[in-house]
Structure formats: C-alpha cells, structure tokens
Copies of this chain bind each other. A is one copy, B any other.
Amino acid sequence: MLAKEVKEKLIKIVGLENVEDSPVERLVYSYDATPQFQALPDAVVSPRNTKEVAEIVKICNEYNIPIVPRGSGTNLCAGTCPTEGGIVLLFKHMNSILEIDEENLTVTVQPGVITLDMIRAVEEKGLFYPPDPSSLKISTMGGNINENSGGLRGLKYGVTGDYVLALEVVLANGEVIRTGGKLAKDVAGYDLTRLMVGSEGTLGIVTEATCKLIPKPESKQTMLALYQDIEAAAQTVSSIIANKVIPTTLEFLDQPTLKVVEAHAQIGLPTDVQAVLLIEQDGPSEVVKREMEKMHALCEQGQAISVQIAESEDEAEALRTARRSALSALARLKPTTILEDATVPRSEIANMVKVINEIAEKYELTICTFGHAGDGNLHPTCLTDIRNHEEIERVEKAFAEIFEKAIALGGTITGEHGVGVMKAPYLERKLGEAGMAAMKAIKEALDPNHIMNPGKVFAKDCRKRVVVSR
C-alpha cells in the first residue's frame, strides 16, 4: 500500500476519484491479457492531462514507486502486470483524438484512444492507418506504441513504429519532452521517437502521439488457399515474397487452429485441411487484380488443393475477424493458453513450422500455430494447464527450444508482442551479453531509480515463466 503521505499528494494532483486503492480495484488491475502473471498494484491512478502525469512521475521518482502505464492491458508479454507493485497509471481520461490533419496526413492522439476508433475516424476522411493488431477493438494507441504492435497488414505496411512521427513523453525525472514532428524527415539528434516506441514504458510515459497516415487504398481483395500439407503452405509464403509480390496480408492457420476458430466463429471455414493461407492485397484495382492472379497461380503451383477469392467484403471481413479471434478461440479449450511470437526471416517459415511440429511431438504437447506468416512471425500456441506441473515443465522446455531454433535461423524471440516479464529471460539469447549491457546502460541513463515499469524487458535471476504474485 502507498504511504499515507504519498496517497495524499496523488489525490491533490488528480482528485480523490482518480486514486483507487480498494482491494477490488487493485485486483482488477493486477493482471493483463497474459496468462499466469498476476501481482497487486498499490494503487490505480488516472491522470487527466500531461501535467498531472509529470507531477505523478515526480512523486514516484522521489519516493521510488514503480509506475506501470496501462491502456486496455491487452498485451501478451505481461508488460502491464505490476510485478513490483506501485502505481498502475490508467489513461481512461486521456482518450481523445486531438487532430486529424488532412494537409499533412497525420493524426494526433492521446494514449488512451482505442485503436479501432482512431482507424475508423481517419478512414472517414479517406485516410488510412495500417497497423491493426488483433486486439484493435479494445487496445489503445498508447499500448500499441509501447509494444510496437504489429497486425495483419504488417507485411506490406509495417508496424506501429513505422507510423509514429512524434511523441510527447514524460521522462522519469518528470520532465516533458517532445520528439519528432509532423515531418517526413527529421535528423535533429538521436531518434528518441523510435527508441521510445516498443520500450514498454520502461524509458518514459507516452502522453501524446502524432502518427503518419496514408491515402486509403482504393480496393481490396481477399483469398483463402487450402492445403493438405502444412509445409507446402509455408513454402508458398516464401515463394510469393521471392516472386516479388508483397501482399497486405499473408496469414497462416493450421488445422487445430482452424477447427477451434470455426467452432467459435461459424463462418464455414474448412476444417478438413491441414492449413490455410489467408491472403489479401489492396491498392488500385488493376494492380490488386493482377497480383491476386499471380498469387493464385503461386498457391496452385505450391500444391494448394483449393484457392477461393472472397466474393464480398462481408465474406472477407468474416475471414479477417475469424483470424483475429484465433487466440480467444484457442483460449477456450484449455485452462491455460501460452502463446509465443518467435519470428524468423521469411525464407525460413517452412523450416520453422516444421520445427514447431517436431518439438510439439517430442514433448507430447498440443501446439497450434497461426500467425503473420508473410512477416515470418508465427504464434505457436500451447494449450495446457498451469496446475499440471509436469506438463508445464515440458512446455517451458519446448518454448526454449523454439526460441533457440528461431534465433539459429536468424530470427528473434518476439516479433510484435514485446518482451515484458514473459520473454525477459530469453532476451540475452537474442542480444548477447554486450547487447544487453548496451540496453541496460540506456535504461540506467534515462531511469536511474528504476521507477519506469520495473522488471520488464530486463530479467531478474529467475527463469521461470510464471511469476508468483507478491
């Protein structure tokens, strides 16, 4: 619990109604979308503007109180789990779209804006914000920025970080800085914008962001290719890229995922095939038509047993929604769903899918795989039960092997979910000792008292995935 003195100071800043520390409130914010991580915060504080954030941070810096910034808590790396207690900083009041600038093609938002609300608002103006994490209906822009979220359109358009032009950030010392601008180019010093994006709230607190928009693509087509051979599907992914077609979306779902998604969504997905590719292209209609034909041919050459183009936008949207629901659908099957997002170079997708299946077999686990195959970003998802300690041991070993293999193939331990607490024990395998030391030096430089989302990104001694609540 917060010291009485601290609580009073916080109330003075944000008002009594915005400092909550009842047992219920603390419990509600003791976890996020990541299974098996839970820890009680000391209080939940909801600032109304940047000035209040800066004042709160100054107090936390003075009293050494951890701050965990939180949007909707949809992240999958326990990035918003208050593992060291302290304050959960909630952005429920700072949730406005401040401006859509149609001359400069930018949108400026507060961190608490729901991603989909912003996407809809810019699309009404004929503009387009491509990053679309599967959680976009509930995730916030602040969360997307902190995690550098990806999404289904990442293959062609890139991820959140590729669209953030400018940030307002409260640093650990309570100073407010502004990085970048409504600028296509800016090399005035180090790229603090990109350093902050994806830093998971460990370097500063984002209080405003200006993002790049692009003209909305004129047209879009969606296609489903069915495979009886998983590796043939993965091979098609590599072959499309190598043939110099970059579709908007190139998603992979294996049979176990298909089955649960269909049971959940009931839109007539085929459940008798080993894998499907969900392929989309957008842009000028002539180009979309031509490239869809090219990909159609490549799928067939790659042993697809059937390739169908969605006949309407409703049908296409149903397919996308089904894909986005994969995790929720899988999560219903077993008490515990552990999902990873190891990422490999696109050319290694077929290898990676093969390795995941071999590892699942070796450790006798149910691992369903889906994900952004075109990005090399797969989400092998293990359906298990945390109470079965013996099985969990095997799950640990299996994922450690998956990470090893991803890194050996030139990949990384996380493509879009972030490190958080969950993947912190594995980060050094990707970065090496010197890389870790460089990142720690930056953390130390900007947050010497370790108040900014402590315990995230950098692992403690413990290598266990499951944190005991404090």
Contact = CB atoms under 8 A, between A and B. Distances in A.
A245 B214 CA distance: 9
A124 interface: no
Interface residues of A, number: 92
Nearest to A103: B347
Contact of A346 (B104, B377, B416): B104
A376 B177 contact: no
A104 B435 CA distance: 24
Interface in A374-394: 374-377
Task: Indicate how many identical chains form the complex.
Answer: 2
B238 A215 contact: no
Interface stretch (A6-14, A19-27, A64-72, A187-195): A187-195
- Which residue of A182, A417, A419 has the most chain B CB atoms within 10 A of its CB atom? A182
B431 A188 contact: yes
A33 interface: no
Nearest to A203: B190
A287 B290 CA distance: 13
A412 B182 CA distance: 10
Contacts of A262: none
Contacts of A158: 184
Given A103-B238, A242-B102, A345-B181, A414 B195 contact: no
A284 interface: yes
A434 B176 contact: yes
Contacts of A184: 154-155, 158, 343, 346, 374-377, 415
B185 A416 contact: yes
B104 A347 contact: yes
Interface stretch (A252-260, A298-306, A440-448, A462-470): A440-448
A195 B186 contact: no
Interface in A446-460: 446, 457
A250 B175 CA distance: 38
Interface in A163-208: 171, 173, 175-179, 181-192, 194-195, 197-199, 203
B103 A241 contact: yes
A192 B432 contact: no
Interface string A139-169: 0000000011010001100110110000000
A270 interface: no
A82 interface: no
- Which residue of A181, A242, A416 has the most chain B CB atoms within 10 A of its CB atom? A181
A411 interface: yes
Nearest to A186: B412
Given A188-B412, A446-B442, A177 B435 contact: yes
19 contacts: A101-B347, A173-B434, A178-B432, A181-B410, A182-B345, A183-B415, A184-B376, A184-B415, A185-B377, A187-B415, A187-B416, A188-B413, A190-B198, A190-B442, A191-B198, A192-B438, A194-B195, A215-B244, A284-B290
Interface of A: 101-105, 126-127, 147-148, 150, 154-155, 158-159, 161-162, 171, 173, 175-179, 181-192, 194-195, 197-199, 203, 214-216, 238, 241-242, 244-246, 283-284, 286-287, 290, 343-347, 372, 374-377, 410-419, 423, 427, 430-432, 434-439, 441-442, 444-446, 457
Those 6 A-B pairs whose CB atoms lie nearest each other, nearest first: A175-B434, A215-B244, A103-B347, A194-B194, A445-B445, A185-B415
